[in-house]
A and B are shown apart, each in its own frame.
Chain A
Amino acid sequence: NAGVIQTPRHKVTGKGQEATLWCEPISGHSAVFWYRQTIVQGLEFLTYFRNQAPIDDSGMPKERFSAQMPNQSHSTLKIQSTQPQDSAVYLCASSSGTVEQYFGPGTRLTVL
């Protein structure tokens, strides 16, 4: 079992560019979660899907951020017109439906 896979591990974008982050959940897991970690804000919940359906996006910034789960094997987090304040480690987690979430290694996004 490879665990949750996140690609790329590091991404550098220029201000105003688009960034797409990928997450492959553990095979058979029905739920996918996205979190963001910064020094100032800590670990923040963004959004989650269950059986590919969006369940809760209460943590997503209202503008420029979107998440999708087109099939059970991957989810994407897209940030349009990236800004320096979007720089963070973005974490994806998956769950089989129990309370335990398994986290990926994260994608470090740096916006110059």
Chain B
Amino acid sequence: GDSVTQTEGQVTVSESKSLIINCTYSATSIGYPNLFWYVRYPGEGLQLLLKVITAGQKGSSRGFEATYNKEATSFHLQKASVQESDSAVYYCALSPHYNQGKLIFGQGTKLSIKP
């Protein structure tokens, strides 16, 4: 079945340094899935950070960006310069092409920022 893999459970980055959180996916159905990054800030609910529904395109929001790479089946999240307010748990997710309601999530990556 379809799945999403985030290899890092926790990442620590110094403030103002660059960030990359890895995400790869496996989609067994015909057609390309929609890809998402969701974020949970401390004390808050899960919210959409960015989405890309077309293979090859890039999504961006709040200084973060992710490119839908269908050859590598990846959707890594990047930011050039992190801030303390970026501390959160980040989830990569996909919705299958055949069932665009259902979200399949990765395990999540907790981002901590060192001042």
Chain A residues in the interface with B (C-beta under 8 A) = 3, 31, 33, 35, 42-45, 48, 50, 55-56, 58-59, 91, 93, 95, 99-106
Contact = CB atoms under 8 A, between A and B. Distances in A.
Interface of B: 34, 36, 38, 45-48, 51, 53, 91, 95, 99-108
Given A99-B100, A100-B51, A42 B45 contact: no
B102 A56 contact: yes
Nearest to B91: A43
A95 B101 contact: yes
Nearest to A41: B107
Given A43-B91, A104-B45, A99 B104 contact: no
Nearest to B105: A43
A42 B108 contact: yes
A93 B45 CA distance: 11
A5 B37 CA distance: 22
The DSSP consensus for interface residues of chain A is strand
Contact of B101 (A50, A104, A106): A50
Given A99-B34, A99-B95, A42 B48 contact: no
Given A43-B91, A56-B99, A103 B105 contact: no
Contacts of B45: 3, 103-106
